[in-house]
Amino acid sequence: MDNSGTIALKQEVLVRLVEAFFSDNFEEKARLIPFDMRPKGSDVPFRCCIYKERAILRDRVIADLGFSIEDDNEETSLSEYAKESLLREKIDEKVLTVIGAACKGCVPNRIYVTNLCQGCVARSCVQACKFGAISIVNGKSYIDSSKCKNCKMCMAACPYNAIVKIAVPCEDACPVGAIEKDENGLAKIDHEKCISCGRCVKRCPFGAINERSQLIDILKNIKAENEVVAMIAPSIVGQFKGSIYQLKTAMIKAGFSEVYEVAQGAEVTTLNEAKEFEERMEQGEHFMTTSCCAGYNELRKKHLTEINKYASDTKTPLYYTAEIVRKKHPDAKLVFVSPCVAKRKEVFENDNVDYLMNYMELSALILGKHINIEECEETPFDKESAKQARNYGVIGGVASAVESVLEEQTSVKPCIINCLNKDTIKQLKKYAKDGSCADGNLIEVMCCEGGCIGGNAVLAQQRTAKKSLQTLLDKSNDLK
């Protein structure tokens, strides 16, 4: 799905918020963002009227200021929210919020018989349904929604393709059923079920689900000239024009004191996970799953506890990088720059990391400060990361990194779970129940399709990102 339109809209709000923050009157400039973006007399590009457009933009600003839209009383002005964002100490752990005004209130997920139904003699759909949900009414197939299990067997059986699935993008994308409709038919997130995978954020074509940003908290520290250190995820390669060395220079110009690659932590993860895998295989275990994906780790905590004993105990690349950076910068504010919302939960649980900034927010900071990355000189990192570690953001990268450092006598058969969805979760449940995996012995689990380069906050198409990454990998050394 091409979500470039929603990305552009979200990014424009963020850029205007950055410009407002560094202006001489942050509160007033923040209040005016909806009016500046949709001035009187302007065409309404998406909604019924300019007033609804402004209401939606107001909610986007609230989320980008770090607040929950569900808690908004509609009487508090954006200038008051902006002022409050400067005074707060921290944001609570509910990382997602729904813009009710932007939600389309889609019809419920269901299997539906269209007018293409020919009422054929074969009654293939009736025969295919194991739940007795299909009958013939007035010569046409009819589905009893109270009996239908959405198994789609009738869809496969219909010779006319007359039966279709009507999907609600956010609900359909959620692998754990954490999104449902409220009493008004609008999307509502059950935070007890939510694994913060961000798939709903990426899939909603209206951009109605937003992350609650920590951007202002980071900008406060930059403006106060505090030591603010950034740690960039491996998947950042190819997300911005220019090299990652030029990006580092741009980030320092934007106010960061220093920038480190999380790939150096990925090297530690690789070596530890390889050692652990070797030990587990020697002990007779049949498989081990990787543990670097925050969305998968949340899934294990809330919905898949039976697989925990098969999951690696090794920490994530962010964990090890933060340990390294904290020793070098004991008093700094540490910011993880991430492609996805799932890492926000990990950041909340890690005392060594203070804030998370996603790629859209970083782009907004650089644009808001009027910095051209391609015009920046290249600044080297204090340590050049290995190619295997820099490849962590691409599907299969973790398993191949682990395999590359193991001795030849340790047989590795990777099994790749490319995206968490209802089917792959069933697959993982089966592995846990059976205590074995016929598809392999090292199971790499990635929440997002394609790996971290498919995260909800990425800026580039995967093909573009992979091309830039390959150029960097060709110049990188092997992990030893």
Segment 23-40, tens digit of pLDDT? 999 999 999 999 999 998
- Is residue 231 a contact partner of residue 334, using CB atoms and an 8 Å limit? yes
- Is residue 418 a contact partner of residue 446, using CB atoms and an 8 Å limit? yes
* Region of poorest pLDDT, from 91-95, 137-141, 330-334, 340-344: 91-95
Instruction: Please tell me whether residues 99 and 199 are part of one structural domain.
Output: yes
Q: Is 362 within a domain?
A: yes
Instruction: Please tell me whether residues 131 and 247 are part of one structural domain.
Output: no
Instruction: Please tell me whether residues 318 and 361 are part of one structural domain.
Output: yes
Instruction: Please tell me whether residues 205 and 232 are part of one structural domain.
Output: no
Domain of residue 151, CATH code: 3.30.70.20
Q: What is the pLDDT of residue 478?
A: 92
Q: Is 402 within a domain?
A: yes
Domain of residue 290, CATH code: 3.40.50
Instruction: Please tell me whether residues 298 and 336 are part of one structural domain.
Output: yes
Q: At what angle do helices 317-328 and 263-282 cross, to 10 degrees?
A: 130
Q: Is 480 within a domain?
A: no
Instruction: Please tell me whether residues 99 and 120 are part of one structural domain.
Output: no
What sign for the dihedral angle of Cα 59, 64, 65, 67? positive
Q: Is 171 within a domain?
A: no
Q: What is the pTM of this model?
A: 0.91
Cα separation values, 451 from 204, 350, 465, Å: 20, 22, 12
**HSE-up of residue 161 (Cα within 13 Å, Cβ side):** 0
- Is residue 262 a contact partner of residue 321, using CB atoms and an 8 Å limit? yes
Q: Is 341 within a domain?
A: yes
Instruction: Please tell me whether residues 208 and 309 are part of one structural domain.
Output: no
H/E element, 179? strand 179-181
For 303, phi then psi, to 5°, come to -130, -10
Q: What is the pLDDT of residue 90?
A: 86
Q: Average pLDDT for residues 323-328, to the nearest whole number?
A: 98
Cα separation, 183 vs 105, whole angstroms: 11
Per the structure, the complete domain to which residue 117 belongs is given by: 110-166
pLDDT in tens, 244-295: 999 999 999 999 999 999 999 999 999 999 999 999 999 999 999 999 999 9
Instruction: Please tell me whether residues 157 and 237 are part of one structural domain.
Output: no
pLDDT in tens, 439-470: 999 999 999 999 999 999 999 999 999 999 99
Instruction: Please tell me whether residues 53 and 97 are part of one structural domain.
Output: yes
Q: Is 83 within a domain?
A: yes
Q: Is 172 within a domain?
A: no
Instruction: Please tell me whether residues 329 and 445 are part of one structural domain.
Output: yes
Instruction: Please tell me whether residues 50 and 29 are part of one structural domain.
Output: yes
Tokens of 66: 């770090």
Instruction: Please tell me whether residues 17 and 125 are part of one structural domain.
Output: no
Q: Is 340 within a domain?
A: yes
Number of domains in the chain: 3
